[in-house]
Each structure stands twice: as C-alpha cells, then as structure tokens.
C-alpha cells in the first residue's frame, strides 16, 4: 500500500508581496535507503545541492525531506501558480505501516541560501545527531517510537533555525496515519484545506493499493 501526498494550492492572505517556500519532513518505517532519489518533484530542490558537502547527511537516509522552489511576489488574491499535483510532500512510496508529515510554509529573506543554512543547522544539531546515531544503531529493527522521537527532535529545532536565518515561519501543520487505518485516507483520496490568518493551502493524499 503506497501513499502520495502533495500541496496543490498555496495562498498568502495578508500583507504585500512575499517570497514563499515549503519545507516538508516525512516520517515512515522504510528504514535507511542509500539510493533513493530525494528529489521528489520538479518543484522541489535536491537536498544534496543545498546542504554543504561537508555535512553529515545520514539523516536524509531515514526521512524524506524536501524543500520547494521559492515562489516570488505572492500577494493576497493571487495563489502560487502551480499545475498538476503542485508541490510533492511525499512521493509514491510504501511507508511500511506509519506515515507522518510535518509541513512548514516559510517567508524567505535570502532565497535558497537560507534554505541551505536551515539544513546545515538541522544536520549539525547535537540532539538530531544523537537521534541519527540511535537510528543507525537500531539497524533493521526500527520502531515507530524511535523514528517518531527523532522526527520530533528535527521538527523542534526548525523554528529557531529559521529565526536565526531571518526567515519567518508563517504556517505549520502535522499529519500522521497508520496502515491499519489506511493512513486515515478515506475512499482512497483526501483533500484537506488548512491555514491561519496568513496562509491558506490545500493538501492532497492518495492511497495506492497494490
């Protein structure tokens, strides 16, 4: 059973022109993958091109982490121009029983340079590093609590890193689903609209049963 998730609509509700980008972190139980292409769509940046070569990228083997292009001059009444599935949050993969998504909509201050600093700070964080060591030590015996704990550590440091980079976190949302409940995707597909006073967006889920 595979899941596909995307953001087909993103809109700013307040203020003048904004430069927006989306960061997504997906948690599942697939374990470490050496060869999986982390570029999940044309709208997403390959993290290997953003994260400095000297950084320890072990975390990227366990989580599907993506960052969208920067969308410029986005103002109220004029949603981000996207076609098809829009921004891919989770490619068509089998989560192996558990799927979690943490999604962040960010106003950029310095383009993808800040994005690079975001992941540099994330991969260099002491707590995150300790979590990665735990994942490596677990090998093939990954458990949902362990993977979830490390994901929580990752998510918890993102706001501080964004603030340090002078980027503004405008909206965030979390999702989780289990295979036993078909990942909470009713009738094989689900479209939800979420937002706050600054951002409004649609998130789409599709369940692909093999």
- Per-residue three-class SS string for the chain: CEEEEEEEEEEECCCCCEEEEEEEEEEECCCCCCCCCCCCCCCEECHHHHCCCCCCCHHHHCCEEEEECCEEEECCCCCCCCCCCCEEEEEEECCCCEEEEEEEEEECCCCHHHHHHHHHHHHHCHHHHHHHHHHHHHCCCCCHHHHHHHHHHHHHHHHHHHHHCCCEEEEEEEEEEEHHHHHHCHHHEEEEEEECCCEEEEEEEEEECC
Confidence at residue 197, expressed as pLDDT on a 0 to 100 scale: 93
Confidence at residue 3, expressed as pLDDT on a 0 to 100 scale: 93
Confidence at residue 2, expressed as pLDDT on a 0 to 100 scale: 92
Confidence at residue 39, expressed as pLDDT on a 0 to 100 scale: 45
Confidence at residue 150, expressed as pLDDT on a 0 to 100 scale: 83
Residues in the chain where the model's pLDDT stays below 50: 38-43
Confidence at residue 52, expressed as pLDDT on a 0 to 100 scale: 58
The residues spanned by each domain of the chain are 2-208
Q: Are strands 2-12 and 168-178 parallel, antiparallel or unpaired?
A: unpaired
Per residue in 144-197, pLDDT (tens digit) is: 888 888 888 888 888 888 888 788 899 999 998 888 888 888 888 899 999 999
């Amino acid at each position: 059973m595979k899941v596909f998730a995307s953001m087909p609509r993103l809109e700013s509700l307040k203020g003048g022109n904004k430069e927006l980008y989306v960061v997504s972190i997906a948690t599942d139980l697939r374990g470490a993958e050496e060869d999986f292409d982390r570029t999940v769509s044309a709208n997403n940046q390959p993290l290997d091109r953003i994260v400095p070569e000297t950084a320890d990228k072990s975390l990227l083997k366990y989580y599907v982490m993506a960052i969208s292009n920067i969308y410029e001059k986005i103002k109220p009444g004029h949603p981000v121009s996207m076609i098809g599935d829009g921004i891919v949050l989770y490619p068509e993969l089998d989560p192996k029983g558990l799927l979690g998504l943490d999604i962040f909509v960010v106003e950029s201050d310095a383009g993808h340079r800040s994005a690079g600093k975001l992941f540099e700070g994330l991969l260099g964080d002491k707590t995150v590093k300790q979590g990665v060591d735990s994942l490596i030590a677990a090998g093939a015996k990954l458990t949902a609590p362990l993977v979830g704990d490390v994901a929580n550590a990752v998510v918890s440091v993102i706001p501080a890193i964004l603030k340090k980079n002078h980027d503004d976190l405008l909206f965030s949302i979390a999702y989780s689903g289990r295979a036993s409940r078909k990942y909470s995707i009713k009738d094989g597909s689900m479209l939800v609209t979420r937002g706050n006073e600054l951002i409004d967006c649609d998130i789409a889920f599709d369940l692909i049963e093999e």
